Amino acid sequence: MNNKAAMDALMAIEGFRNLNQDIETIINKSESVKKVKKEANERELTKKEKKGLTDEEKEYKNVRKQIQEKLIKFATRVPVFMYLTDYRERSLKDVITQLEPGLFKKVTGLSVKDFDLLVSLGVFNSALMNDAVYKFKRYEDASLEYVGINKHDGQNVGLYDTVLSANDYAHTFVNEA
């Protein structure tokens, strides 16, 4: 929340555009709650102060939950982007930044510059993103092979920021029971 450029990038995502007021509320309530709790350690709180503290804590938690829900909404758009692009053999990061930046912006609202900024701030955990992309592609493969389509047979498979050979991809998590 302290990085203006990152907040501007997030505001570009549909569903985040109305968050300015929510974020200000979180910051103000968080600082207010910390201040009151610090003072409480030094003296006994009155009933009115305790009620005010709990109301501010509730509002802070509620706004925080709304931001989490909007982040989840954004996260649901990434698979839509992966489904729409056919660059399966490249890492998702390369597809976003080099091959399909226009499509990514259209689907998510993020430009390459904004995406790069969020990556540099650690918003995307590479290990978790690789796992999520892998699982998405396994699910997509299973659903297509069920109807007899396999147009990527023998090709490398791009994850978030790495690429698996077709052989490694085929032998990962094989059920040998």
Last residue of a domain, one of 52, 74, 96: 74
**Residues 91, 70 share a domain:** no
High-pLDDT (> 70) share of the chain, %: 68
Q: CB neighbours of 157 closer than 8 A, spacing ≥ 6? A: 88, 89, 134, 137, 163, 164, 166, 169
Mean pLDDT of 67-77: 73
Q: Note whether 60 and 36 are within 8 A (CB).
A: no
Looking at residue 20, its pLDDT comes to 46
Q: For residue 176, what is the DSSP state?
A: -
| Global confidence as pTM | 0.59
Half-sphere exposure of 61 (CA within 13 A, CB side): 6
95 lies in the same domain as 47: no
Please report whether residue 80 resides in a domain: no
The answer to whether residues 92 and 146 belong to one domain is yes
Final residue before a domain boundary, out of 74, 104, 129:
74
Q: Is 45 among the domain residues? A: yes
Give 160 or 10, the one with higher predicted confidence.
160
Closest CA to 135 of 157, 167, 153: 157
Does residue 156 form part of some domain? yes
Averaged pLDDT, 123-128:
84
Q: Residues 111, 163: one domain?
A: yes
Domain final position from 42, 74, 106: 74
Domain ranges, residue 107:
87-171
Q: What is the pLDDT of residue 94?
A: 93
Q: Is 145 left (phi over 0), alpha (psi -120 to 50) or beta?
A: alpha
Number of structural domains (the chain) is 2
Joined tokens for residue 32: 């207010």
Shared domain for 97 and 164, answered yes or no, is yes
Q: Are residues 61 and 91 in the same domain?
A: no
Do both 62 and 96 map to the same domain? Answer: no
Structural domain contains residue 176? no
Q: How many residues appear in the chain?
A: 177
